[in-house]
Structure 1
Amino acid sequence: MNRCRLFTDGASRGNPGQAGAGAVLLTDQGEELATCSVYLGICTNNIAEYKALLIGLDEARRCGCTELAVFLDSELIVRQVQGRYKVKSEALLPLFHQVQKRLAAFNHWSIAHVPRMKNTRADQLANQGIDTAAA
């Protein structure tokens, strides 16, 4: 089994505003397997968070991860995916369903909230995504 850790972050400069997604995939031992930095166009921060998670989940599957521990600094998204909060936003609901479908492809997964200071690499990548569009 290939155990991995995934850190994702979405950023939006304005809400809605120019947005980016960042993801960092690590081995269970902490070695970096892959990174993603994507410009998302104009969207809200919560949509950017979901899109970053989706991008990261796709990368984890591509890299052969079968067990995945996911970490986000968005408490809202984490609690929605955990089923602790209901997804009320019609804009987020399709993204939530896509996340559920992708997570079902893993043998085992978990998701947890981390403080922003423990998610700095994914945050840098999300902002890099926005910066590439401005360049």
Structure 2
Amino acid sequence: MRVVVHVDGGARGNPGPAAAAAVVTDAASGAELDEATRYLGDSVTNNVAEYHGLLLGLERARAVGADEVEVVNDSELIAKQVNGEYKVKHPDMKALHAEALAALSSFSSWSIRSVPRAKNADADALVNQALDAAAL
């Protein structure tokens, strides 16, 4: 089964309180199959949160039985690092990058691309909902 996974991560402050989110849809029909959020803590950077969004999305894609995944995010940095176009220099991100590549390798095919934030609105909204809930 092929899915599209919209992922996002964000921190309020950099570092600051952060969350990750993913929305999994069927690639053929566009029907939503799953969504998830995860609060990441009170002192996380935006880029680390973005990687956690990617990892959460891959976890949820696997949980719904996907064997092919198209990842859509709004972080050009993460997409280009995963695609091998940019080097990963930050120590915290090196481990997350390696974990993401390992998770992606479990799919028969995968791709990742970045889009403007407006085209990733559902995942972005879930990140903000998780951050708002944590602030209560």
TM superposition score category, shorter chain reference: over 0.9
Q: Does 1:40 align with 2:40?
A: yes
Distance 1:128 1:53 in 2: 18
Structure 1 residue 131: deviation in Å? 1.3
Structure 1 residue 134: deviation in Å? 1.1
- Write the deviation string for residues 51-71 of structure 1: whole angstroms up to 9, x where unpaired: 011011001001100111000
Q: Which residue of 1 aligns with 2:11?
A: 12
After TM superposition, the score normalised by the length of structure 1 is: 0.97
Distance 1:73 1:130 in 2: 18
Q: RCO (CA 8 Å, sep 6+): is it higher in 1 or 2?
A: 1
Distance 2:133 2:57 in 1: 19
Quick one: which amino acid aligns to residue 55 of structure 2?
A: L
Secondary structure of the 1:85 match is: coil
After TM superposition, the score normalised by the length of structure 2 is: 0.97
RMSD: 0.6
Q: Which residue of 2 aligns with 1:90?
A: 91
| Moved beyond 2 Å, runs of 4+ | none
Question: Which ranges in structure 2 are unaligned for 5 or more consecutive residues?
Answer: none
Question: Which ranges in structure 1 are unaligned for 5 or more consecutive residues?
Answer: none
Distance 1:130 1:40 in 2: 9
Q: Which residue of 2 aligns with 1:119?
A: 120
Q: Which residue of 1 aligns with 2:133?
A: 132
**% identical aligned pairs:** 48
Quick one: which amino acid aligns to residue 87 of structure 1?
A: V
- Write the deviation string for residues 56-105 of structure 1: whole angstroms up to 9, x where unpaired: 10010011001110001000000000000000111100000000000000
Secondary structure of the 1:84 match is: coil
Secondary structure of the 1:91 match is: helix
Structure 1 residue 30: deviation in Å? 0.7
